[in-house]
Amino acid sequence: MPKMKTRRGSAKRFSLTKRGKVKKNRANKGHLLMKKRKTRKRKLRQKNLVSSADKKRVKKMIGA
């Protein structure tokens, strides 16, 4: 059986913590930033954890 290929787009968007949780970037930081408050934009810079419902699927996509 051949090796599983990593989905490269997913591998660039998600990363794993040491404990095996999946981190992702937050949405709403791409454009239309003038009307968003400084505090909101600062909080959008921080990583977020993927929900437990999607965690198994994302790990499979990134080859973990």
Specify the pLDDT at position 52.
Answer: 95
- The 48-49 sheet, strands edge to edge: 14-16, 22-24, 48-49
Cα separation, 58 vs 4, in Å, equals: 14
d(CA 57, CA 32): 31
Please state the pTM of the whole predicted model. 0.81
Mean pLDDT of 28-43: 97
CATH of 8-62, one of 4.10.410.60, 3.30.2020.30, 3.65.10.10, 2.60.120.650: 4.10.410.60
For residues 38 and 29, is the Cβ–Cβ distance under 8 A? no
For residue 39, the model assigns a pLDDT of 98
Distance between CA atoms of residues 13 and 19, nearest Å: 18
What average pLDDT does range 11-32 have in this prediction? 96
Domain locations in the chain?
A: 8-62
Instruction: Answer whether residue 48 shows pLDDT above 90.
Output: yes
Report the percent of the chain where pLDDT is more than 70: 100
